[in-house]
Structure 1
Amino acid sequence: MSNQLKQEPLDSQVVSRNRVTNHGEVYTNPREVNAMLDLVKHETERIDSRFLESACGHGNFLIEILTRKLATVESRYKKSQTEFECYSIIAVSSLYGIDILEDNVVDCRKRLLNKFIEFYDKSYKSNKREECINSIEFILSKNIVWGDALTFQTASNPPKPIVFSEWSPATEGFVKRRDYSFEGLLIHAEIESLPLFSDMGDGVFIPTPVKDYPLTSYFGVTNER
């Protein structure tokens, strides 16, 4: 497991003028983040509602959404460590981000991991399970991507199509992973009227995954590389 770094909140709106000029990078401060998220407050507090931030920066929006989701997990499942861990994994796995700057991606993953550990420590500091933290860290490595949302490509050399994983609760104690191309999901959003992966009982369009994985335990997702 990599080192978990405790960081101060990143509130400054500008890192450097060069980054503003070259990448249009200006951070949204917490006041504006919370005001915007309050417009969809119910969804931000729902454990399994999915969010994608296509220019996530170091994660100001995602960290606040995760804070709200974990507060819901804590209020409902604090008395059971196993349920707390499983629903925390669901909460983390519902968040997705893309950024074109690699250091932002690294910071975003670390901040989200540390936010989970902050909640985990409050109730189970002496009983934390490394395999749970490893699962959270692995999911973040897949869900927060270094890439360009405009080209649908990773920023690696050579670039590859951006792929996101859907992590769905299955039978008790197990999760199902399916990988989908980001471009395919966006094309659907542009040409289809049916919602994507709706869990509200509506008609839905379910795209074809580029890879399908067998069921695995919540604490065994790191085996699905």
Structure 2
Amino acid sequence: MAASTTTTIKSKQRVADHGEVLTPQHIVEAMLDLVRPETERIDSRFLEPACGTGNFLIEILERKLQVVEKRYAKVQLEYERYAVLAVSLLYGIDILEDNAEECRARLFAVFDAAYTRLFQDKAKAACRETVRYLLQKNIIHGDALSLQTVGEHPQPIVFAEWSLVNGSLMKRRDFAFHELVAQSSMRELPLFSDLGEEVFIPEPVRDYPPVHFLELAHAYADDL
């Protein structure tokens, strides 16, 4: 009985086959409280390499959206811009396809509930489409150990880096996950730092021109 206070499972078979356990909400909150300033910073990036159905990523998104609402809810475009940014900086990998799909759906539901509550019939389909696209790109059905996607034809995992430039434009650069892991490990330098120390700056495998954040889904329609 005590084990149920720290982990939950979908089935014994999934535990046996994949070592799958799901962290309950109170443990998620306690762990994220250890880095609370980062979870409440709109432009902080998080990668969960075994994201499951998204318990950690959902809590992070909820915290970020609370900050976005507090700062930008009075101007719809501003809220949309920074809510989209908050979503774009969350990344996940899971070896089970149904987990990845559920994680995307749950994250979208968190965004959509907050967005709809604030703007109701003024909410834009284009903004929802952007968020759906970002979640499809950022939450990957893959293996964080092999650094490849899972499926009939595995490919190296590639993450898109998103950043706001010139107001409402969003810049995309793609990075190979295996190169990020290998280079940062070999150089023994962090990928990112807010402390002023030396960091490893990776080279993108592809660079894209800026696109208005509400046009991402249309601009990259052939990319999924």
TM-score range (shorter-chain normalised) is: over 0.9
Aligned counterpart in structure 2 of residue 112 of structure 1, from 102, 107, 120: 107
SS of the equivalent of 1:207 reads: coil
SS in 2 for 1:145: strand
Whether 2:19 is the aligned partner of 1:27: answer no
Deviation track 1:104-154 (CA, whole Å, cap 9, x = no partner) reads 000000000010001101210110100001001001001000010000010
CA distance in 2, matches of 1:208, 1:59: 29
5+ residue gaps, structure 2: 1-5
Displacement after TM superposition at 1:194 (Å): 3.6
Cα deviation digits, residues 161-207 of structure 1 (max 9, x gap): 00000001111110100000111111123122443244665543221
Over the aligned positions, Cα root-mean-square deviation in angstroms equals 1.5
SS at match of 1:176: strand
Q: Taking structure 1 as reference, are residues 49 and 57 closer, same or farther at Cα in structure 2, changes over 3 Å only? A: same
Q: Aligned to 1:73, which of 55, 68, 75?
A: 68
Aligned ranges 1:43-62 → 2 under 5 Å: 43-62=38-57
Name the structure 2 match of 1:124.
119
- Residue aligning to 2:77: 82
Q: How does 1:2-41 map to 2 (within 5 A)?
A: 13-41=8-36
Counterpart-to-counterpart distance in 2, 1:221 and 1:124: 21
1-side partners of 2:119 and 2:196: how far apart?
36
| Cα distance in 1 for residues equivalent to 2:49 and 2:212 | 29
Q: Note the C-alpha offset of 1:211.
A: 1.0
Deviations 1:17-60 (A, max 9, x none): 10011001110000000000000000000001001000000000
Q: Cα distance, 1:155 vs. partner?
A: 0.4
Q: Which runs of 5+ in 1 are unaligned?
A: 1-10
Post-superposition offset of 1:221 = 1.2
Determine if the alignment matches structure 1 residue 206 to structure 2 residue 201.
Answer: yes
Cα shift readout 1:41-93 (whole Å, capped 9, x = no counterpart): 00000001001000000000000000000000000001010010000011001
Higher mean displacement: 195-204 or 140-149: 195-204
Structure-2-length-normalised TM-score? 0.92
The verdict on how the C-alpha distance between 1:192 and 1:179 changes in structure 2, with shifts beyond 3 A counting, is: same
**So what's the TM-score if we normalise by structure 1?**
0.92
1:167 alignment counterpart: 162
8 Å contact 2:184–2:200 — kept in the other structure?
Answer: no
Q: What secondary structure is seen at the aligned counterpart in 2 of 1:179?
A: strand
* % identical equivalent positions: 51
